[in-house]
Structure 1
Amino acid sequence: MKKPFLALLLLGASAGAASAQVEIGLKISPSVTYLRADSPSALNFQNDKSKLSLGGGLVVDYFFGQNYAFSTGLLLVSKGGTVTYTDPALVVLNPNDPASVRSQKIGLQYLEVPLTVKLFTNDVATDTKVYFQLGGSIGGLISGRINGDKRYTDVGNQKESESVKHFIIPDAAALVGAGVEYQLGQSTKVFGGLSYHRGLVNIEKYFDEERGFQDVSLKNNEVALDLGLKF
């Protein structure tokens, strides 16, 4: 009784392995990034400017059906943007004094792992499919700059600190995207699409810990053009 049951399990595993397919490739993603800022009105944290960024790396699509795949990889991505805020230490007589409004141009680099599902249509034209991508990503901060520098001197308290230490290391985002994939050869495909990455984590820690600002929140946002080649 055990032998036929074992044979059936092995047959099922073999069939699953035969139907599974892994596609590996590379992609490059020019993007527009910005920071969603929130704070009490007295601090008036605001998103001021977006940032042109560039990312890319390895992509892996693991198909567990003809038209759907688990998509992951390892990417080096740049994020950030420019924020403005009112520094209470610089407000002396006139709370509307422009000198009390500070600006930070923030540039961050992350190593990121997408955790998504891709859904493919049947061919909409010869060797051409449309795909939809849904899921999220997790990342770790590896470098950071404020106003282009690795070190930052705070005008409010005259202290110097490493720019990267103003932010927490982990980041996470929800991801949604869509695009087109074209079969060039037996195993070569090119793809292009758009994706939106909405940050879920407050990445800021400096103002809370060093300046005593309460309820300041900065979250990454990104709109990316995804261009790639799978082998």
Structure 2
Amino acid sequence: MKKLLLALLTVAASTGAASAQVEIGLKLSPSVTNLRTESPSASSFQNESSKLAIGGGLIVDYFFGQNYAFSTGLQLVGKGGTISYFNESDQKRYEQKIGIQYLEIPVTVKLFTNDVATDTKLYFQLGGSLGGAIAGKIDGNKRFTDPVTGNENKALDYVILPDAAVLLGFGAEYQLGQSTKVFAGLSYHRGLLNIDNYFEDERDLSDVTLKNSEFALDLGIKF
């Protein structure tokens, strides 16, 4: 009986230690996003303006050292911006305001300092994210009629569904209680994939590149 109780206590202690290594929380991220453009001078694609978006979701920090954590989660984010291009056939310039919603999984490492003030640490985050587009709008509508061809398409058909980005961030984390922490930080997300799925395929505009960029304010709480 004593051996059984000792075994149960050992398992409980090891389980508690393991659970203490994982911190789960929620994050809200207002952001400013835009689309980086590249194309031949004939079509002259340009980034005209950014858009405001808001995202958030679940975060999970798994600590494999006192000041080192693998950070992931599941987040809904908004991206896009306003672009313009020149159409040679009618010698006109057209604008499109593109908005895309992504479901993303960050794959990053967080590096924490020791306390820089009472119960306060700084953190640095680096890695990437993988996502998939789940909704889209062009000029505020889910369907868009091309003013040049007259063809109507779903706005989501204008972009490829997968996306990947480099993620860099930093911030501060404050211990509120035994297991509750709040944090605030800034992060930059630089898209790696050309998301254009329309201009080259449907309009025969060669070498058109559209890539996401995002600056986010990260606010959250961990339990």
> What TM-score do you get using the length of structure 1 for normalisation?
0.88
Q: How is 1:204-215 mapped onto 2 (pairs within 5 angstroms)?
A: 204-215=196-207
Q: Deviations over 1:62-107 (max 9, x none)?
A: 000000000000000000000010012222xxxxxxxx00000000
SS of aligned partner of 1:202: coil
Q: Deviations over 1:149-180 (max 9, x none)?
A: 11111111111111110100000000000000
- Asked if 1:201 is matched to 2:211, the reply is no
Cα distance in structure 2, aligned partners of 1:19 and 1:206: 47
Of residues 151, 159, 167, the one that matches 2:159 is: 167
Q: What letter matches 2:51 in structure 1?
A: K
Aligned position for 1:24: 24
Aligned position for 1:34: 34
Seq. identity, %: 68
Cα distance in structure 1, aligned partners of 2:103 and 2:196: 18
Residues 70, 116 of structure 1: 8 Å contact kept: yes
User: Aligned pair count?
Assistant: 210
SS of aligned partner of 2:141: coil
Cα distance in structure 2, aligned partners of 1:142 and 1:189: 31
Aligned position for 2:73: 73
Aligned position for 1:51: 51
Aligned position for 2:93: 101
Q: What letter matches 1:215 in structure 2?
A: D
Aligned position for 2:5: none
Q: What letter matches 1:174 in structure 2?
A: V
Q: Deviations over 1:30-60 (max 9, x none)?
A: 0000000110011000000000000000000
1:20 offset after TM fit, Å?
6.4
Q: How is 1:45-194 mapped onto 2 (pairs within 5 angstroms)?
A: 45-91=45-91, 100-194=92-186
Cα distance in structure 1, aligned partners of 2:143 and 2:46: 22
Q: Deviations over 1:130-163 (max 9, x none)?
A: 0000000000000001000111111111111111
User: Runs ≥4 in structure 1, deviation > 4 angstroms?
Assistant: 17-20
Residues 114, 138 of structure 1: 8 Å contact kept: yes
Cα distance in structure 2, aligned partners of 1:199 and 1:142: 17
Cα distance in structure 2, aligned partners of 1:115 and 1:128: 24
Cα distance in structure 1, aligned partners of 2:18 and 2:186: 31
Q: Which runs of 5+ in 2 are unaligned?
A: 1-13
Cα distance in structure 2, aligned partners of 1:121 and 1:37: 37
Cα RMSD for the two superposed structures: 1.5
Q: Which runs of 5+ in 1 are unaligned?
A: 1-13, 92-99
Q: Deviations over 1:100-140 (max 9, x none)?
A: 00000000000000000000000000000000000000000
